[in-house]
Amino acid sequence: MTATPVPPLRVGNASGFYGDRFSAIHEMLTEGPLDVLTGDYLAELTMAILGRDQLGDPGRGYARTFLRQMRDSLELIMERRIRVVTNAGGLNPRGLADRLTELAEGLGLEPRIACVTGDDLIDRAEELGLGSPLTANAYLGAFGIAACLDAGADIVVTGRVTDASLAVGPAASHFGWSPDDLDALAGATVAGHVIECGTQATGGNYAPPAGKRDEVGDPDRPGFPLAEIHADGSAVITKHPGSGGAVTTGTVTAQLVYEVSGPRYAGPDVTARLDTVRLTQEGPDRVLLSGARGEEPPADLKVGLTNITGFRNEVEFLVPGLDAEAKAALAERQLRAGLAAREPQDLRFTFVPAEDPHGPTQDAATARLRVVARDHDPAAIGRSFGAAAVELALGSYAGFHLTAPPRDARPDGVAATHVLVPATEVEHTAILPDGRRMAIAPAPRTRDLAEVPEPPLPEPLPEGPTRSAPLGLVLGARSGDKGADANLGVWADTDPAWRWLATTLTADLLRELLPETADLRVTRYLLPHLRAANFWIEGMLAPGTARREGADPQAKGLGEWLRARRAPVPEALLPEVERP
């Protein structure tokens, strides 16, 4: 008698960060069928925000948005028997689970709620040699989630787990995978990585080569993604019919090369080999992920450490008309005098000239004086800082006005770093719906990470005419942050463009094109099956996420900067409209 095959598991993700589209959970529940709904709320910056919340109230530390979303949707979730897995527990998964229980009781519902703990190492920071961080959280794996679901949980709340584990845990429970099912775990990890950032898999933040600009159809409100995971770990990435955006090999490639380092994508349960993954467009909005190979994970877990590096406040003077520089100088002298009793530790004035002092609109004729104050004491640069600027209103330059009223100081940024701790030192625990605690063992076999030999280069393109053009006419890109480092993934959508990318865009050329990387260590990793290259740029964001000075502290725009840079491009690769 042949066993009935286990049906695929439909996992949909409705949040890519704390602050994502509030209505997404309801949309995912009502727009099409679903088995599991996941929500990823934790970025490195979020951990610091939650840590700051807990300083004021130890009962907080979780993503409160999730509670409001559950108030709107929990009845529908229970009616449709959809399981929910989320890391919205942040620093306090037990606290969020308790609040969910209270919410459900108020609604007359009885979901079975479980949680996963053990990631929070802040009380052991000194013992483990982690220093004195604001937060210290190990990235846990999928088997704690699987244990909760095996015990009948309807909702699983976690703290810090790897983003992909939100999808891998339900798949491991559904298919009965063990830690030895490395290829299946790797496939689900890749699928989880694709859907973890929500609409980035369906056309959000998408920058394809110029010839594919219309690839995502309706980009105004992209739908959230689904992964139909199969028993062997392969998966189809899709979305609900009728939702916006699109799922193509391009949108999936863009997410695959986002915030990864090299071909070995290491996690607590498996190291997935990204260089083995193949993508196939099976139909409209359906991309098959297959071929993923898995290896034993490293013996150590990554631990994310965050610290708030201080506080900042700012005020902006609008300076219209003639003699703008003299007016701005007066405002600076007056504000410094007003702050003399307690001048901030760092006070910077930046004058931005008017577009045209004699212009036809007042906006064009207005210069700006931006003042940024930084201090370790938020009280020193709170509302009193803005009030000192307001007090000048009737005794300063002609045409004086400000862009905003005084406001409180806010965190200046986050120093986010990563260290490694042996997995055996972390007490990964599943707290089941009946309150029982289950210890989750680390991976039974481990393997040290090693560099993957660089694959052979494809044949260069034949010699032919070139033209100076923006790289974005022939290449797509996506970039992001990992602590103090940045990643920049670049891909081509045709074999000729891939041959040119692989043989031309080296780490040395990248440094020339992006001068800010000139003195940094840049490593290029080729992913031929994806026609992609990933550049790992060490120290670009030092001292850490959201603390780097400049307009792009998380390297989200780095890929677009590269695509805007000009280089000699073979004319045969350029879109017809760009050719001579």
Q: Which amino acid is at 127?
A: E
- Which pLDDT score, from 0 to 100, does residue 544 have? 57
How far is the C-alpha of 199 from the C-alpha of 205, rounded, in Å? 8
Host H or E run for residue 70: helix 64-80
Let me know: does 217 contact 235? Beta carbons within 8 Å. Answer: no
CA separation, residue 368 to residues 329, 349, 363 (Å): 11, 10, 10
Q: Is the peptide bond before 543 cis (omega within 30 degrees of 0)?
A: yes
What is the pTM (predicted TM-score) of this model? 0.89
- CATH architecture type of domain 310-411: 2-Layer Sandwich (3.30)
| Tokens found for residue 190 | 């890749």
Give me the residues paired with residue 11 across strands: 36, 227
Closest among 482, 535, 542 to 511, alpha carbons compared: 535
Helix residue ranges, H only, 207-277 = 249-256
> What are the boundaries of each domain within the chain?
9-208+217-306+417-439, 310-411, 466-578
Instruction: Using the structure block, give the residue that is written with the tokens 């995502």.
Output: 216
Q: How far apart are CA 196 and CA 224, in angstroms?
A: 10
Rounded Cα–Cα distance for residues 492 and 256 (Å): 14
Q: One digit per residue, pLDDT tens: the chain, 580 residues?
A: 456 789 999 999 999 999 999 999 999 999 999 999 999 999 888 998 899 889 889 999 999 999 999 999 999 999 999 999 999 999 999 999 999 999 999 999 999 999 999 999 999 999 999 999 999 999 999 999 999 999 999 999 999 999 999 999 999 999 999 999 999 999 999 999 999 999 999 999 999 888 676 788 778 899 999 999 999 999 999 999 999 999 999 999 999 999 999 999 999 999 999 999 999 999 999 999 999 999 999 999 999 999 877 888 999 999 999 999 999 999 999 999 999 988 899 999 999 999 998 888 999 999 999 999 999 888 899 989 999 999 999 999 999 999 988 889 987 767 788 999 999 999 999 999 999 999 999 999 999 999 899 999 999 999 999 999 999 999 999 999 887 899 999 999 999 999 999 999 999 999 999 999 999 999 999 999 999 999 999 999 876 554 455 667 788 999 999 999 999 999 999 986 565 5
- In this prediction, residue 353 carries a pLDDT of 96
**CB distance 279 to 397 below 8 Å:** no
Contacts of 329 (CB under 8 A, 6+ apart): none
Beta carbons of 497 and 209 less than 8 angstroms apart:
yes
Alpha-carbon distance 86 to 13, whole Å?
9
Please report the pLDDT score of residue 559 as a whole number: 95
Q: Is the dihedral of CA 540, 554, 294, 274 positive or negative?
A: negative
Question: In Å, what is the CA distance from 279 to each residue of 23, 251, 497, 525?
Answer: 30, 11, 17, 18
Residue 550 is predicted with a pLDDT of 61
